[in-house]
Amino acid sequence: MDARFFLASGFVALATIAAVLIVAAKPDKPAPASLAEATLATRHAPQPAAIPPKPAQAKDEPFVIKRILPIKGAIRYGEWHWDEKDVPAGPIVVTVDLEARVISVFRGGYEIGAAAVLLGTEDKPTPLGIFPITQKDKDHVSNIYTGAPMPYMQRLTNDGITLHGSDVALGYASHGCVGMPDAFAAKLFDTTKIGDKVYITRGKQIGMGDSLIGG
């Protein structure tokens, strides 16, 4: 047989094998020919759904003290004042000064109430800080202190610190709560809502033009 036939047959066989190898090695999708093509392909590739950003938390806004009740001299034990005539609606903020032993109530920057209060002792002090009102109970009875009545109770902490009505008199003390005359406690109870804040400070007096944080 002609040698050229065998040679041609060999070329055909080699070409067939090469074609099979090329087809087997061919990827489903051609590789990018350049970095630019690869970048473009990435840009057009399906992207995971974007996670929406969390909404920004509202911050407390300061408001300026616009009125202080015209009280002459120190407030005596058992004494209280309340005047909300012509005071517009607004956020309620309660302040308690441990040094002056006075509670003040502000609506939209206007002081509408003030009273002398009972506070805790050195062994069971009234805590300093900012406390939102978390519970209200008009006819609350203590489950910690042998069923003691705590009318117009407004809870500040989970370990028993509250605002409530009490027999406010010189020489009396609380177990850390803020006690006030019952009539004042009733007005405060009707004025506040869950979430209103109580600022307990020591020696920080509030005056006209001063700023508080409301919310």
* Long-range interactions of 133-141: CB distance < 8 A, separation 24+: 133/163, 133/192, 133/193, 133/194, 133/195, 133/196, 133/197, 133/198, 134/158, 134/194, 135/194, 136/189, 136/192, 136/194, 138/189, 140/164
Q: What are 148's two structure tokens? A: 């003691």
Is residue 106 within 8 A of residue 191, CB to CB? The reply is no
DSSP line for 88-151:
PP--EEEEEETTTTEEEEEETTEEEEEEE-B---SSSPPPPEEEE--EEEEEEE-TTTTT-EEE
**Is 175 noted as a catalytic residue in this protein?**
no
Q: Comparing C-alpha atoms, which of 163, 134, 169 is closest to residue 150?
A: 163
21 SS3 class:
helix
Give me the catalytic one of 44, 81, 164, 175. Answer: 164
Q: Look-up: residue for tokens 């005596």?
A: 76
- Four-CA torsion 67, 64, 128, 135, nearest 10 degrees: 80
Residue 164 known to be catalytic: yes
Give the residue numbers marked as catalytic: 164, 177
